[in-house]
Amino acid sequence: MVKERINEIKQSLPEDVKLVAVSKYHPASMIQEAYDGGQRIFGESHVQEMVQKYEALPKDIEWHFIGHLQTNKVKYIAPFVSLIHAVDSEHLLREIDKQAKRCQRIIPVLLEVHVAKEETKYGWRPDELLRFMESGAWQQYENVSIRGLMCMATNTDDECLIASEFERAHQLFQTVNDALPNNKWTECSWGMSDDYPIAVQHGSTMVRIGSLIFGERLQVLK
């Protein structure tokens, strides 16, 4: 079942859009099933859970950390994480850089931009993010490689609002990229189970899909 759903989603995606299978709260056995079907990129949003799954599962899995990351937990995932999606402050970026240095790694990251209506969502304000990139301050963090942006749209049925939020993130991505002399950004991480077709129409290069692949998560754990 998991394999079939992954294949259906993959067929609906343009060839250059990557699928991050969001496996949070689902057991390692389901990840193994997806792995056996060829899926290699998995997304998790809790540090301890990701570490346990990393230890239990094949080593060629690319583990993406997609949730809000606390600075004091960066050290646990720094040795193996493939991409950290939701870097929402310079403080967190600095800590990732520090832990990456200790592991002698360069950790790829995305900056999370806040485009949704909800107050509660994390992320940089677009103007703050632009100023941070223009200032060049990011260049001092030599053990992180910023690859692009991540965002979450408002949780709503209003498809026009969702589209406008993804579009805003995409325009910011392009504005920054036009100004970067080299090391151009390549990744736009947006789109989840309910809104990924809209995300793909607005620049997404990476969709993060959980419930559509693995079914509903246990509410008690949410």
Residues that bind ligand PLP (CB under 6 A): 22, 24, 45, 66-67, 192-194, 208-212
Least CB distance to ligand PLP at residue 22 (A)? 4
What is the Cα–Cα distance from 84 to 208, expressed in whole angstroms?
Answer: 13
Nearer to ligand PLP, 128 or 194 (CB): 194
The answer to whether residues 218 and 178 touch, using CB atoms and an 8 Å cutoff, is no
The CB density around residue 203, as the number of other CB atoms within 10 Å, is 18
Q: What contacts 24, CB < 8 A, 6 or more positions away?
A: 43, 44, 45, 46, 49, 67, 210, 217
> Are 133 and 93 a contacting pair, CB within 8 Å?
no
Q: CA–CA separation, 102 vs 94, rounded Å? A: 13
C-beta of residue 90 within 8 angstroms of C-beta of residue 111: no
Question: Residue 101 or 217: which CB sits closer to ligand PLP?
Answer: 217
CB of 103 vs ligand PLP, minimal distance in Å: 24
| 3-state DSSP assignment of residue 164 | helix
Q: In the complex with ligand PLP, which residue's Cβ is closer, 89 or 143? A: 89
Q: How far is the CB of 60 from ligand PLP (least distance, A)?
A: 22
- Cβ of residue 212: shortest distance to ligand PLP, in angstroms? 6
Least distance (Å) from ligand PLP to the CB of residue 216? Answer: 8
The residue with its CB nearest to ligand PLP is 210
**Among the listed residues 145, 167, 156, 154, the one whose alpha carbon sits nearest the alpha carbon of residue 123:** 154
Please, which residue, 26 or 170, has the CB nearer to ligand PLP? 26
Rounded to a whole number of angstroms, the minimum distance from the CB of residue 46 to ligand PLP is: 10
| Nearer to ligand PLP (CB atom), residue 8 or residue 142 | 8
19: DSSP letter: E
First to last CA, the chain: 23
Q: Smaller CB distance to ligand PLP: residue 104 or 220?
A: 220
